[in-house]
Amino acid sequence: MLTLTFLGVGSAFAKRNFQSNALVEAWSRGPHSPPSPDDTLLIDFGATGPLALYQLKSTPGFEYLDRHGQIHYPAIRRVFVTHLHNDHVGGLEELAMMSRYLCADPTAGNARRPQLIAPADVLDPLWENCLKGGLGAHTGGHATLADYFEVVALRPDDAGGLDRFVVAGRYEFVPFPTHHIQVHHPFDWPSFGLSIHDRVSGDSVLYSSDTRFDYAGMGPRMRAARLIFHEVQLEAQPDPVHALLGELRTLPEDVRKKMRLYHFSDAWDSPMYAFVASEFAGFAQPHRRYTLFAGA
| Cα Rg of the chain, angstroms | 19
pLDDT higher than 80, residue 161: no
The rounded mean pLDDT for the chain is: 94
Planar angle of CA 200, 203, 208, nearest 5 degrees: 130
| pLDDT tens for each residue of 196-228 | 999 999 999 999 999 999 999 999 999 999 999
Q: Mark 36-74 as b/e (b = at least 16 C-beta within 10 Å).
A: bbebbbbbbbbbbbbbbbeebbeeeebeebbeeeebbbe
| For the chain, percent of residues with pLDDT exceeding 90 | 89
Alpha helices in the chain (DSSP H): 49-56, 86-89, 92-97, 120-125, 132-135, 145-148, 215-224, 245-248, 253-256, 276-279
CB neighbours of 216 closer than 8 A, spacing ≥ 6?
none
- Domain membership of residue 29 as a residue range: 2-293
Looking at residue 35, its pLDDT comes to 82
Tell me the pLDDT band of 296, cut-offs 50, 70 and 90.
Answer: low
Per the CB < 8 A criterion, the answer to whether 153 and 181 are in contact is: no
Q: What are phi and psi of 217, to 5 degrees?
A: -85, -35
Considering its fold, how many domains does the chain have in total?
A: 1
Please give the Cα distance from 229 to 178 (Å, whole number).
14
pTM of the model: 0.95
| Rounded-to-integer distance, Cα 141 and Cα 295, Å | 48
Going through the chain in order, the beta strands assigned E by DSSP cover 2-6, 22-26, 39-43, 66-67, 70-71, 78-80, 115-119, 137-138, 141-142, 150-154, 165-167, 171-177, 192-198, 204-207, 227-231, 259-262, 282-283, 289-293
What pLDDT does 138 receive?
Answer: 86
Asked if 254 and 244 count as a contact pair (C-beta separation under 8 A), the reply is: no
CA distance 39 to 28: 9
Strand 259-262 to 282-283 pairing = parallel
pLDDT given at position 103 = 77
Give the CATH number, domain containing residue 94.
3.60.15.10
Residue 34 has pLDDT above 80, yes or no: no
Mean pLDDT of 32-53: 93
Q: Name which of 102-106, 211-215, 243-247 the model is least confident about.
A: 102-106
